[in-house]
A and B are shown apart, each in its own frame.
Chain A
Amino acid sequence: AQTVTQSQPEMSVQEAETVTLSCTYDTSENNYYLFWYKQPPSRQMILVIRQEAYKQQNATENRFSVNFQKAAKSFSLKISDSQLGDTAMYFCAFMEYGNKLVFGAGTILRVKS
């Protein structure tokens, strides 16, 4: 069974600084997707960024980028120029093609002014 591990229960960062959230996963598959979802307090979860395993290039979305290390089964999220609105729970998630999404336990990120 696939597992997703987020080893940082909580993180803090000063506004405008950079923070990296860690994620590791376990799978025997070669083709899959990895995701970071954001869940702000009392608001719905939204997709932040997605990485397809067959692509070597790391995905980027504005201030969000990932460091995908397939051999190490590592998938970290870097948030640059952190903003107060980035405060949320961040979930790393894994999915085999056409299968169900498996989430990690989440990392609470607090951006401080």
Chain B
Amino acid sequence: EAGVVQSPRYKIIEKKQPVAFWCNPISGHNTLYWYRQNLGQGPELLIRYENEEAVDDSQLPKDRFSAERLKGVDSTLKIQPAELGDSAVYLCASSHRAGRNTGELFFGEGSRLTVL
């Protein structure tokens, strides 16, 4: 079974530039999460999708961040414009319906963003 796939693995951009991250969850997983992990810290939830619906986006900085999950499968997280403080690893995770309630998440390898 293929795991959660993310791209790109690494991205270096100048501040004020846009950037987008893509995630393909495990087949059959209805729930998809985007987390941000700052250096030396634990991941923090940005947004959670149930199928194509964003059910928790309270921590997503909506002035510059946006996300979508068309057709309830792949998802894209966008930052526009990027700021220096956005440098972090962006993790995508997915879970099946039961896993959503029991905390068993499957993570991708992450996309490391460096904003110069």
Chain A residues whose CB sits within 8 angstroms of the CB of B105 once the complex forms: 47, 101
Main secondary structure on chain A at its contact with chain B? loop
A75 to B9, CA, bound (A): 33
Q: How many positions in chain B have a CB within 8 Å of any CB in the partner chain? A: 22
Looking at A9, A33, A42, A45, the one whose CB has the most chain B CB atoms below 10 A away is: A45
Residues of chain B in range 17-46 having any CB-CB distance to chain A below 8 Å = 40-45
A50 near B43: Cβ-Cβ < 8 Å: no
A44→B5 CA distance, assembly (Å): 10
Main SS of the interface on chain B? loop
We find that the number of chain A residues with CB closer than 8 angstroms to chain B is 22
When the two chains form their complex, are residues A106 and B40 in contact, meaning their CB atoms are under 8 A apart? yes
- Contact call A103/B101, Cβ cutoff below 8 A: no
List 13 additional A-B contacts (Cβ < 8 Å) besides A44-B108, A98-B100, A106-B41: A33-B102, A33-B103, A42-B109, A43-B109, A44-B4, A45-B93, A50-B102, A93-B42, A100-B45, A101-B45, A103-B44, A105-B42, A106-B40
Closest 3 CB pairs of A and B: A103-B42, A45-B107, A95-B103
